[in-house]
Chain A
Amino acid sequence: EVQLLESGGDLVQPGGSLRLSCAASGFILYNSAMNWVRQAPGKGLEWVSAIGGFNDNTWYADSVKGRFTISRDNSKNTLFLHMNSLRVEDTAIYYCAKALGSSPRTASHSWGQGTLVTVSS
């Protein structure tokens, strides 16, 4: 059974940094495309970033490009989102989601429970 468990969400000041983790079980992380999707309080879903399976190809939303980095530790079967220069508008629940295939050009069929990032002074 696929399971995804996010952690690392916290209250951080504007301009600060944070690293989110997504521990994966039930499948080999390296083989699958993975996404980070966020949802601001009371708002809709916003795709943030993706990493391809079997390679290190990455994609980013314009709103986070240059500030966020997606990566994975294959030995720990864990996905990361490194977030720098955080802004108030980055406040959201961050979900990791597993794609149906090894390409990000597939839908996300398994989602974690999310971790809350709050950016405030």
Chain B
Amino acid sequence: DIQMTQSPSSLSASVGDKVTITCRASQGISNFLAWYQQRPGKVPNLLIHGASTLQSGVPSRFSGSGSGTDFTLTISSLQPEDVATYYCQEYDRAPLNFGPGTRVDLK
């Protein structure tokens, strides 16, 4: 099985700050990596797929990069509505594991 790790587990940032979250796969997964946002009490929402492809309707302040084992989600200018937990997920091979999540709060 491919294990997914994320860092940090949580962070606090101010409105307008640049935020970076990293995700690491225990084996190479090419670019079979997605990022999801889950606001408190809400359903997960797909942000990025293919490691760097922005899903339709997602604000351009979100971006993804990486390939192989190391990936990054960047929020270029944090907004209040970005308060959420962010999960990466590999979909290269079953089980399609999620990372443990990164909680983003406002400072």
Q: Whose C-beta in chain A lies nearest to the C-beta of B49?
A: A107
Q: What separation, in Å, do the CA atoms of A37 and B34 have in the docked complex? A: 14
A114 touches B46 (CB 8 A): no
Q: How far is the CA of A47 from the CA of B94 in the complex (A)?
A: 9
In angstroms, how far is the closest chain A Cβ from the Cβ of B92?
7
**Nearest-Cβ distance from residue A110 to partner chain B, whole angstroms:** 8
Interface size on B, residues (CB 8 A): 26
Q: Is A45 touching B38 in the complex (CB atoms < 8 A)?
A: yes
Bitwise, A77-107 to B at CB < 8 A (1) or not (0) is 0000000000000000001010010001111
Interface residues of B in 29-66 (CB under 8 A from A): 32, 34, 36, 38, 43-46, 49-50, 55
Q: What's the nearest-Cβ distance from chain B to residue A64, in Å? A: 10
Which residue of the partner chain A has the closest CB to B33? A107
Interface residue ranges, A against B (CB under 8 Å): 35, 37, 44-47, 50, 59-62, 95, 97, 100, 104-109, 111-114
Q: B residues bordering A, Cβ < 8 Å?
A: 1, 32, 34, 36, 38, 43-46, 49-50, 55, 85, 87, 89, 91-101
Q: Please list 24 pairs of residues, one from A and one from B, whose beta carbons are closer than 8 Å in the complex, sorted by A's number.
A: A35-B96, A37-B98, A45-B36, A45-B44, A45-B98, A46-B98, A47-B89, A47-B96, A50-B96, A59-B94, A59-B95, A60-B94, A62-B1, A62-B95, A95-B43, A104-B94, A104-B96, A107-B34, A107-B49, A107-B50, A107-B55, A107-B89, A107-B91, A109-B46
